[in-house]
A and B are shown apart, each in its own frame.
Chain A
Amino acid sequence: MSVDDRPINRSQPASVDSPQRRAFLSGSAGALALRWLFQSDEAVASGIGSSGGEGPHAAPKAKRVIYLFQAGAPSQVDTFDAKPGLAARLGEEIPSSVRGEQRLTGMTSGQKSFPIAPSPFKFDRCGSSGAWLSETLPHLRKHADRMCIVRSVFTEAINHDPATTLMQTGHQLAGRPSFGSWLSYGLGSLNRNLPSFVVLISRPSGKTNAQPLHERMWGSGFLPSEHQGVRFSPGRDPVLYLSNPDGVSAADRRAMLDDLGVLNRERGKTHRDPAVESRIAQYELAFRMQSSVPELADLSREPQSTFDRYGPESRKPGTFAANCVLARRLAERDVRFIQLYHRGWDQHTDIRGGIPSQCYDTDQPSAALLADLEERGLLEDTLVVWGGEFGRTVFSQGKIESGNFGRDHHPRCFSIWLAGGGVRPGVTYGETDDFSYNIVKDPVHVHDLHATLLHLLGLDHKRLTFRTQGRDYRLTDVSGELVTGLMS
């Protein structure tokens, strides 16, 4: 039998465990490879910690994640990192002392002048917490007291591909498991009819430069591939190959599965490979998914109030708004990690047009999701994360022309927000200098963010490891500090 084919609950002496399988929680067999298919109904019913073995390392504050990834890198200068003092300095050179030795991309490194481009958008204090949000986020403004805005996230990566890969896998180069895969591996599934890690992707409605995504961003790296994210798409097959071919009815399929089960077990009498039961279980789960997934993806039974809340785009399959409705439905069904990607945040030009257009796509649905989760009692144990892969420069890429301009990549500081399970609400954390260029207070590295998110999920980022190539790998590589200021 292959290393990965074994049912997890078979007891075996820890000593026969291979290094790969010894990975998590010091080697007790029960804690290994917590699969989304082998759980009993009782385990599902009792929730966290029952999905096999030792479960999480500590009491979790959240049991699932909705990660609203804003691909392309939203400008912090125009959304959350208010710098009212800059208005008077339009077109002035950014002081070289501020810019320092900071690396520039090939797109602006040839620039002779770095004129300050204050945000064209108005900022106001919102909620009783008084958080600053720009006018481009009218809906989120109403939820400022639910949000924990972090203005001091930083990264080393300055280009989309490595930066997104770092944000999603903890490493700039390809090959590591994504956050959702780690969670699937570490905590297993909470339900028996759906995958534990689902990915939903939307393209921008406006005309903008949509950076490509890569399957690796939700890939399982060196973890067994059952932990890779399962992409749900709009259209006939929300999950690839979900629907039966033309002319094959559900009854036909049922008949075939019945025969398969009998034949597989019949042959099993000869080879006696216990993995055959796992194969049969997979087919049964596939069959259940053929009804559970379309039911999940079918928004036609949502009341009008849902669409009113999530906005006009939410009726169009494949939009960020529709995906937010789906995210709520997935959370209701206890999918562990729900990863949304919204593309199109790469405003090298046209901040004036691009930011409002991206906000039109994302602001109302994100706000609606928060309210909806809260109303349903899900926000308290769902961790919501909103953010991109880096920030953008306060200076203009190229010249400021007719009051419009673009912004280049900026890894030194950017803003994200968190909400829900275990997150301190109504807080603005971290500070940047007057130019939103350097962090002056409470820096949060990507690894720190990952460590903190894992902590809220009951996992110690130093103990969530997998051994490969002679090393115990972690999502946080060799660093990561808990950011207590973000936690309630």
Chain B
Amino acid sequence: MGVATVTSTTGEAGANTVKGAGPAQLEVRGVTKAFPGCLANDDISFRIEPGEIHALLGENGAGKSTLVKIIYGVLQADEGELIWEGKPVTIASPHDAREMGIGLVFQHFSLFETMTVLENIALAMNDVRDMDALRKQVLEVEKTYGLPLDPDRHVYTLSVGERQRIEIVRCLLQNPKLLILDEPTSVLTPQEVEKLFETLRRLADEGCAILYISHKLHEVKALCQKATVLRGGKVVGGCDPREETAKSMAEMMIGQKLTAPDRGKSREFGDVRLAVSNLSLESDEQFGTDLKGINLEVRGGEIMGVAGVAGNGQNELFRALAGETEQQAAPDSIKIDGKSVAHFGPRRRRRLGATFVPEERNGHGAVPDMSLSENGFLTAFRRMALSARGLIREVPTKSFADNIIKTFDVRTTGSGAEAGSLSGGNLQKFIVGREILQDPGVLVISQPTWGVDAGAASAIHQALLDLAAKGTAVLVISQDLDEIYAICDSVVVMAEGKMSKPRPMADVSIEEIGLLMGGLHDLEGNATPANNTQVEGGRVGQA
């Protein structure tokens, strides 16, 4: 059925003269691209009309990024062609793409931290003009589209939202006819997302075609008029997101039914197992965030979510809890099962029954060049008794790794495979499994499903819920509010190194969390933000 939709879209190409519409802004015809060992794009065809906001959906590895790179001239297709405004074109480089009027807002920002906003913009412009003229243009575009930015500030001093604005301004300056956005909202607060959408809708009204890549399906539903779904490098369907549900689109993406995580019966919480009181810590990172008076308590059986825009102290919090930072704080500012541990390193904390899963899989959570069984040994050797008299006990070490692979359905060639050879989702399942199978009393996990496909994500969520059901205190640091809503019992929000008071998940709206993420702590409970909330909510509703 999906394929039929696509064929009919392509079929319109001939019919559009009858309708009186011009040629498509961009038509992709039969694009195929192979890499050694994988067919990233397999005969992909779709079209985008001028003024249309078109979503490109697909899981990690579905071939979205490859397709974007082909359209932007970073990669060349092996087969197939691109039709731009009715004419076949070759896009040999990003320079060509920009010349034609294609702008790209990158998923991982392509910015230079030590340079100013203006320099960053100048670097991405094709034609060299003098900086003063460029500055005027930048200020004009900022005014027109309501994207305030100081051209002379260094990028490293800017928030993620502001950084994204640079990318957008940089594209708008070239009067794009097609704007591609690759996962633009993954680092934004809900309010920032709504602002971005306003800008995009306005651009579309002016006739700019927009290709919007995201896995946040409710956003796609709110913004896009058309969607093309990729799976395994192929187009598997197309739809009108306004007429679908997030669930139906997700099922189209993964090609199977999606089951919501089973939260079980309402759980009873036990004693406090992880307690942080008045933890203040200077960041050891270059442009990091200092922690300011953090307080939280996680009880046995409870899953607490830490929400917040990236870079507001979550990394610092994780490192402080895991014992990776040298502690200047008082020993009793962190307690595991009532024991003061702030002056302990990671190994002594693990001995007390705490385990940790960091955000970065390769290089932090696992050693990429070592085998899975060696990686299993590294954090579990004490709790799982994998070592004796200073030597590695080979048999239990291997069977521990095999057990993780089996229990968590890690797709790999075996426990001897190098960690670096696994896909992101599989390695994440392995690392999460390694910590969960140690049967911890406290688990601190950062971005559990970041860059993980929907199938693996729901497996990880289920595993966390099951672990909590056994009485473990789980702290989930996540930027993904959907994830926090799906599994957490309570939530705290971090902004600028401070933490909001814990709130039960059931009594807190997504707008409230959004305002807290924006750093409005002082106004908590005040009447003014409540009004704002309604306004913001109203806008979301209109969308």
> Are A and B bound to each other?
no
B residues contacting A by CB (< 8 A) are none
